[in-house]
Structure 1
């Protein structure tokens, strides 16, 4: 039965059908990772819905379509590394073309209207059921990341022209960064302790401290890899921008927040402080007559 669909629409439906069967297997895999039984059961139900959508589309395309194995492993890997919430929401972003197609066809064919409604329900259910510890402490991660970026890019920029020695700059940066991370972690614990129980306050401080230290390592690393201090500073700035880019993309997907505004705000603050510190470091060296 043709249902009056043209060749272009059939081609689009085959693509959507492949997505549905692929996501069926992805949801099945992800459901096995959830320790919470209720969440796991809901993910399994969504997996069955995706299989139903595949079979419904099959009536219109008349074709059996195999899943995209690469996508299955890719989104499974992404979910393991960055969290199941991020993995699912990133995958759901790719469904928007299919949802638009279902919505258009739903005006003529009732089957597609039902599929479109279920696809919309999927996202709402997922937002409600997925609870990940790392997302509950996003504020602590932002604090550690932002503070490390602002303080250390500024410190390294200032030290670069004050010392002009990559080993000394790296040593100074590591000592400053590690000391600052411990201080920031302790401050976060004391601050969170007034509003939360000791267990959550401790986790909050750990997320802050660990994020801070990881950021410090990435920012100092160029000074250990290169002997040219100007090149090291340039690479550090690039690394800082990449860290801001990746982190803000993660937050924008996992928490449904604006990417552009947060990225430019954080990048502007970090690079602005770096420029000011760079100038201060140069002036200090000039007026004190330090030559290392």
Structure 2
């Protein structure tokens, strides 16, 4: 079948799919070059070869030679480098799912799409089977550290802001509170994991403590840089929302969680606690009449 015999929507979709296939071919080959495990490398190379085959099949219909979008490909490689192979695989999976639906929509007009649908569905299964990344095995510990730090420290900083109204004093107090809490949280995670019979108690504790300390540093930073404590608090709360957004986006992709539900829940709890703590700071300051 020639592209001239297809409707305008089908033509546009074919050209888009052709672009996606050549992009995927180059991207999978670049990812394969970064993978040390021979089995996983072979899977990515095989998938890359399939994508090139799909590209050539569609090209035989469109008659158009399309170049890969290198900026988009390099951006994806950067995301994989930063967030890990699992994150990248899940993004691939989402793209593959769109491709499968697209081919099913076109299948009535192009019979050879049946083979491509089978290939794309097989790609999903092979890529998902590869997933085994340490950071995701400890995602529960990371969530514990992040969530606890966000809830406790945003609340504490809000209370300190009205009570002290001194950015450097708030930063110092918040840092002491945060570091102490991170050590306590890491110790609790270690004991809890040991109690459950886990052999990785130390790693779980390290992931929890590291996530907590990382969050503490980001939330304290505005008070170290800015002199106005109220502006610093506003920036810190904005940073908290950004951390919640980025982390939940990562988890929603890597673990197939509901992004919107988790983001709204976490942001509501953190900001809600901060608001209540701010009010407590006002009440305590007014009740005791203490000025620092």
Relative to the length of structure 2, the TM-score reads 0.94
Counterpart for residue 221 of structure 1: 221
Higher mean alpha-carbon deviation, 224-233 vs 158-167, is at 224-233
Deviation string 1:174-216 (CA, Å, 9 cap, x unpaired) is 1111111111111111111233554x22111111111111111
Counterpart for residue 66 of structure 2: 65
Deviation at residue 131 of structure 1 after TM alignment:
1.0
Deviation string 1:66-122 (CA, Å, 9 cap, x unpaired) is 111012111111001001111232244345543332111223322112212222222
Counterpart for residue 207 of structure 1: 207
- When the two chains are superposed, the root-mean-square deviation of aligned CA atoms in Å is 1.6
CA contact (8 A) 2:10 2:106 kept: no
Counterpart for residue 267 of structure 2: 267
CA contact (8 A) 2:156 2:274 kept: yes
Counterpart for residue 108 of structure 2: 107
SS at match of 1:110: coil
Deviation at residue 136 of structure 1 after TM alignment:
0.7
CA contact (8 A) 1:158 1:281 kept: yes
Instruction: Tell me the matched-pair count.
Output: 291
Unaligned runs of 5+ in 1: none
Unaligned runs of 5+ in 2: none
Task: Quote the Cα distance in structure 1 between the aligned partners of 2:55 and 2:111.
Answer: 16
Counterpart for residue 249 of structure 2: 249
Are 1:18 and 2:19 counterparts?
yes
Are 1:277 and 2:269 counterparts?
no
Task: Quote the Cα distance in structure 2 between the aligned partners of 1:39 and 1:186.
Answer: 36
Task: Quote the Cα distance in structure 2 between the aligned partners of 1:272 and 1:59.
Answer: 58
Task: Quote the Cα distance in structure 2 between the aligned partners of 1:266 and 1:197.
Answer: 27
Counterpart for residue 158 of structure 2: 157
Task: Quote the Cα distance in structure 1 between the aligned partners of 2:77 and 2:197.
Answer: 33
Relative to the length of structure 1, the TM-score reads 0.94
Q: Which residues in structure 2 correspond to 1:1-292 (within 5 Å)?
A: 1-2=1-2, 4-198=5-199, 200-292=200-292
Task: Quote the Cα distance in structure 1 between the aligned partners of 2:95 and 2:130.
Answer: 20
CA contact (8 A) 1:107 1:113 kept: no
